[in-house]
């Protein structure tokens, strides 16, 4: 019988929630990495027992953790390496050093800061880990300050894909309220050379040659909070999602506005339709219905909680514009949590399960594609990220 | 606690150091014995102390002292510990 494993990253550790295909009774494992911020955990599509986790701390910096047995035990890649006196220092899994080499074009090393001046790129943390679709040892990292890194050895050595920062618009990028983070990273099963990424507050970008060259894909985005609302870059994209069967159709939750593109991001149109507010962070696509999408509307950029204190998911079965409220089983009053950008996921069971976590520490599951909801857990630390693995 | 968890040790760590006993040589020896701590105490590239960590010994805050200054004799001889502390920060 199928089962699911939900990977939850929180403000103070990680949790793994498991259930059978009914998704009614759950086992809770954790906290793992107690006291650390776990920005993201994700399993390899090649081998679901391989899971990568981003463990970070304002005190102790970044760590990459890796499990090869489905989360039962964890290791820092290369953590047992011995340092020999006089030898070259061995690699470290938490070493993210921006590429400034001449061979890769000496990418620009400053971006716009809050004060409007140019500011050096400084590594802060890994926001998102995206395992390769074809190789268990290859994994991509989206980091703050915004850049994309790749490891081909299970997270031990990290190399920047410097073409992104070097393509030309870097000096115009600036941090959003959460920092200048590369938070969304989408791989295309049908085209190994294509990667989509999104940065707050720079926008969306695409490579078609495996990361050598990149271009902004923000035409059609309108952001009233920047000097030129139609600028090439500077848009605060909160999250993007894609269905694997429609790799040129993208859905986006922008700071304000829900958007879609049907030409791989070259052009976007707004599909907010009848949403009660189109501010929000998460967006995701049903596992079996490429035109069924989900968002969690949030009141505003100044008030990061649901309208009227009533937690609701909205679903569109038409790829946007026409939305229906899904609230059965969700708090109907006095709910003032947020749902952060990487905190929604879907499983691929026949009856598609939808999951999301809140800053109030709840993780909700709907085993019936959003029709009804129930909390798996209610009192975790603030949830940063939710991913789900569908296991045979 | 967090550094001990990363290094998979329970209590104090004993280090053998040849030559001058300074903050730099202590941290070099610590990272050589526990490579997983690299980048968690000092920046990988600049080797600067991470901002929210403090270095104490013999009831003195040595965080802003030269990394190459000799540590107190009590530390060098193992009578007193060299402490790496997560600074109190937050609300």
When scoring A61, A86, A89 by the number of chain B Cβ atoms within 10 A, the one with the most, hence best to mutate, is A61
> Looking at chain A, which residue has its C-alpha nearest residue B53?
A59
Q: pLDDT by residue (tens digit) across B50-78?
A: 999 999 999 999 999 999 999 999 999 99
Q: Are A329 and A374 in contact (CB under 8 A)?
A: yes
| Contacts (Cβ under 8 Å, ≥6 apart) of A129 | A40, A41, A42, A52, A53, A54, A64, A139, A140, A141, A142
Distance CA A363, CA A6 (A): 10
Torsions phi, psi for A228 (to 5 deg): -110, 105
Mean pLDDT on B13-27? 95
Return the minimum-mean-pLDDT range out of A170-179, A325-334, A342-351, B19-28.
Answer: A170-179
Enumerate the β-bridge partners of residue A389.
A5
Chain A contact present for B86, CB below 8 A = yes
Residue B52, both tokens = 């929210």
Average pLDDT, chain A: 95
d(CA B17, CA A371) in angstroms, rounded, equals 65
Q: How confident is the model at residue A108 (pLDDT cuts 50, 70, 90)?
A: low
Query: Is the bond into A201 cis (omega within 30 degrees of 0)?
Result: yes
ipTM for the predicted complex comes to 0.91
The pLDDT score that the predictor gives to residue A103 is 72
Q: How far apart are the first and last CA of chain A?
A: 7
Interface check for B7 against chain A (CB to CB < 8 A): the answer is: no
Bridge-partner residues for A147, per DSSP? A143
Cβ–Cβ of A60/B38 closer than 8 Å?
no
Strand A237-242 to A250-254 pairing: antiparallel
Nearest CA in chain B to A65: B6
Terminal Cα distance for chain B, rounded: 20
Residue with tokens 């495996």: A210
Confidence band, pLDDT 50/70/90 cuts, at residue A276: very high
In 3D space, the residue among A132, A342, A139 whose CA is nearest the CA of residue A237 turns out to be A342
pLDDT in tens, A56-107: 999 999 999 999 999 999 999 988 777 777 777 788 999 999 998 877 756 6
Which chain B residues are within 8 Å of A57, Cβ to Cβ? Answer: 2
Mark which residues 46-65 of A lie under 8 Å from B by CB: 57-63
For residues A270 and A104, the model is more confident at A270
User: Nearest CA to CA, how far is B37 from chain A (Å)?
Assistant: 9
B25 three-state secondary structure:
helix
What pLDDT does residue A102 have? 72
What does the pLDDT look like over A14-26, one tens digit per residue? 999 999 999 999 9
Query: How far out from the chain centre does Cα B51 lie?
Result: 14
| Residues of chain A contacting B89 with CB distance shorter than 8 Å | 58-59
Average pLDDT over chain B, rounded to whole? 93
Distance of CA A84 to the CA centre of its chain: 38
Provide, as residue numbers in chain B, all residues whose Cβ is less than 8 Å from the Cβ of A13: none
For residue A370, the tally of other CB atoms under 10 A from its CB is 21
Is the pLDDT confidence value at A201 over 70?
yes
- The model carries a pTM of 0.96
Q: Domain B2-86 has what CATH class?
A: alpha beta
Rounded distance, CA A163 to CA A64, Å?
23
Higher local confidence (pLDDT), A166 or A341:
A341
Lowest mean pLDDT among A96-110, A264-278, A288-302, A305-319: A96-110
Give, for B3, the enclosing helix (H) or strand (E). helix B2-7
Is B63 an 8 Å CB contact of chain A?
Answer: no
Could you give the percent of chain A with pLDDT greater than 90?
Answer: 86
- Confidence at residue A105, expressed as pLDDT on a 0 to 100 scale: 58
Question: Spelled out in words, what is the top-level CATH class assigned to the domain A43-80+88-361?
Answer: mainly beta
The chain B residue lying nearest A85, using CA atoms, is B32
Q: Do A59 and B86 touch (CB under 8 A)?
A: yes
Of B3, B35, B41, the CB nearest to A79: B35
Query: Tokens 């981003």 identify what position?
Result: A54
């Amino acid at each position: 019988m199928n089962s699911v494993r939900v990977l939850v990253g929180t403000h103070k550790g990680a949790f793994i929630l498991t259930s059978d295909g009914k998704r009614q009774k759950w086992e809770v494992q954790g906290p793992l990495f107690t006291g650390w911020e776990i920005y993201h955990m994700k399993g390899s599509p090649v081998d679901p027992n391989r899971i990568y986790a981003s463990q970070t701390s304002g005190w102790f910096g970044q760590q990459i953790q890796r499990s090869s047995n489905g989360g039962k035990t964890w290791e820092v890649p290369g953590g047992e390496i011995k340092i020999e006196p006089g030898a070259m220092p061995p690699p470290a899994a938490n070493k993210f050093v921006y590429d400034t080499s001449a061979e890769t074009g000496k990418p620009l090393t400053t971006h716009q800061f809050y004060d409007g001046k140019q500011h050096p790129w400084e590594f802060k943390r890994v926001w998102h880990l995206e395992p390769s679709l074809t190789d268990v040892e290859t994994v991509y990292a989206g980091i703050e300050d915004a850049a994309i890194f790749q490891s081909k050895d299970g997270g031990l050595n990290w190399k920047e894909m410097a073409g992104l920062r070097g393509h030309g618009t870097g000096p115009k990028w600036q941090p959003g309220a959460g920092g200048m983070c590369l938070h969304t990273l989408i791989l295309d099963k049908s085209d190994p050379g294509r990667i989509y990424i999104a940065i707050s507050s720079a926008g969306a970008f695409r490579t078609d040659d495996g990361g050598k060259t990149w271009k902004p894909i923000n035409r059609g985005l309108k952001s009233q909070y920047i000097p030129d609302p139609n600028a090439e870059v500077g848009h605060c994209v909160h999250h993007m999602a894609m269905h694997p069967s429609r790799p040129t159709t993208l859905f986006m939750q922008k700071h304000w506005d829900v958007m879609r593109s049907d030409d791989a991001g070259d052009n976007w149109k707004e599909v907010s339709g009848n949403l009660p507010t189109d501010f929000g962070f998460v967006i995701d696509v049903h596992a079996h219905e490429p035109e069924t999408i989900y968002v969690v509307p949030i009141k505003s950029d100044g008030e990061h909680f649901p309208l009227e204190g009533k937690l609701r998911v909205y679903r569109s079965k038409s790829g946007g514009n026409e939305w229906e409220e899904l609230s059965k089983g969700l708090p109907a009053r006095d709910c003032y949590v947020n749902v952060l950008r990487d905190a929604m996921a879907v499983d691929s069971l026949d009856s598609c399960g939808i999951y999301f976590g809140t800053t109030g520490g709840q993780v909700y599951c709907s085993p019936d594609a959003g029709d009804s909801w129930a909390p798996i857990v209610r009192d975790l630390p603030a949830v940063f990220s939710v991913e789900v693995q569908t296991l045979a | 606690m967090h550094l001990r968890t990363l290094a998979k040790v329970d209590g104090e760590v004993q280090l053998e150091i040849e030559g001058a006993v300074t903050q730099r040589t202590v941290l070099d020896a610590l990272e050589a014995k526990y490579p997983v701590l690299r980048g968690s105490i000092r920046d990988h590239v600049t080797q600067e102390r991470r901002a929210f960590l403090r270095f104490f010994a013999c009831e003195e805050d040595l965080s802003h002292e030269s990394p190459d200054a000799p540590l107190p004799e009590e530390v060098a001889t193992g009578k007193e510990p060299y402490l790496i502390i997560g600074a109190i920060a937050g609300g």
